[in-house]
Amino acid sequence: MPGKDTFTKNIGACRAFHSAISTGAGNWTTAQLIEWLDSQGAFNHPYWMCKCSWSYGNNKIITDTGCGTIHLAGCVIEVMGNKGAMTIRVTTPSTSSGGGITNAQFTYINHGDAYAPGWRRDYNTKNQQPAFALGQTGSTVGNDKAVGWNWNSGVYNANIGGASTLILHFNMNTGSSPAVQFRVNYRNGGIFYRSARDGYGFEADWSEFYTTTRKPSAGDVGAYTQAECNSRFITGIRLGGLSSVQTWNGPGGSDRSGYVVTGSVNGNRDELIDTTQARPIQYCINGTWYNAGSI
pLDDT in tens, 193-217: 999 999 999 999 999 999 998 898 8
Evaluate if residue 1 carries a pLDDT over 70: no
Residue 226 is assigned to a structural domain of this protein: no
Residue 217 is assigned to a structural domain of this protein: no
Residue 216 is assigned to a structural domain of this protein: no
CB 263 within 8 A of CB 277: yes
The domain boundary, picked from 193, 208, 223, lies at 208
Q: What span, in angstroms and rounded, lies between the C-alpha atoms of 41 and 200?
A: 57
151 with 48, same domain? no
CB 280 within 8 A of CB 292: yes
Sign of CA dihedral 120, 124, 129, 134: positive
CB 70 within 8 A of CB 94: no
CB 147 within 8 A of CB 134: no
94 with 149, same domain? no
Q: What span, in angstroms and rounded, lies between the C-alpha atoms of 56 and 89?
A: 20
The band of 131, judged by pLDDT with boundaries at 50, 70 and 90, is low
pLDDT attached to residue 143: 95
Evaluate if residue 241 carries a pLDDT over 60: yes
Rounded to the nearest 5°, which phi and psi values hold at 78? -120, 140
pLDDT attached to residue 134: 53
137 with 155, same domain? yes
Closest listed residue to residue 26, CA positions, set 75, 71, 83, 91: 71
143 with 202, same domain? yes
Residue 16 is assigned to a structural domain of this protein: yes
8 with 98, same domain? yes
Residue 58 is assigned to a structural domain of this protein: yes
pLDDT above 90 covers a percentage of the chain that reads 66
Which one has a higher pLDDT value, 82 or 222? 82
Residue 224 is assigned to a structural domain of this protein: no
Evaluate if residue 251 carries a pLDDT over 60: yes
Closest listed residue to residue 153, CA positions, set 127, 180, 126: 180
pLDDT attached to residue 82: 95
Amino acid at 240: G
275 with 167, same domain? no
Evaluate if residue 130 carries a pLDDT over 70: no
85 with 177, same domain? no
195 with 249, same domain? no
- 87 bridge partner residues: 80, 109
The band of 83, judged by pLDDT with boundaries at 50, 70 and 90, is very high
Residue 223 is assigned to a structural domain of this protein: no
Averaged pLDDT, 41-45? 94
Residue 265: CB partners within 8 Å, gap ≥ 6? 244, 273, 274, 275, 276, 277
Question: Parallel, antiparallel, or unpaired for β 243-246 and 259-265?
Answer: unpaired
pLDDT attached to residue 129: 72
pLDDT attached to residue 21: 98
Structural domain for 110, as ranges: 4-121
pTM more than 0.85: no
197 with 246, same domain? no
The mean of the pLDDT values for the chain is: 90
157 with 90, same domain? no
Q: How many domains does the chain have?
A: 3
17 with 112, same domain? yes
CB 103 within 8 A of CB 127: yes
CB 89 within 8 A of CB 50: no
CB 253 within 8 A of CB 226: no
Closest listed residue to residue 61, CA positions, set 106, 29, 104, 108: 29
pLDDT attached to residue 136: 62
Q: What span, in angstroms and rounded, lies between the C-alpha atoms of 186 and 3?
A: 68
Rounded to the nearest 5°, which phi and psi values hold at 200? -90, -5
The domain boundary, picked from 61, 91, 121, lies at 121
- Hey, which bits of 72-171 come out as E strands? 76-82, 85-91, 105-110, 118-121, 136-141, 154-160, 163-171
- Hey, which bits of 111-233 come out as E strands? 118-121, 136-141, 154-160, 163-171, 179-184, 191-195, 207-208
Which one has a higher pLDDT value, 280 or 131? 280
Residue 218 is assigned to a structural domain of this protein: no
201 with 252, same domain? no
The band of 157, judged by pLDDT with boundaries at 50, 70 and 90, is very high
pLDDT attached to residue 119: 98
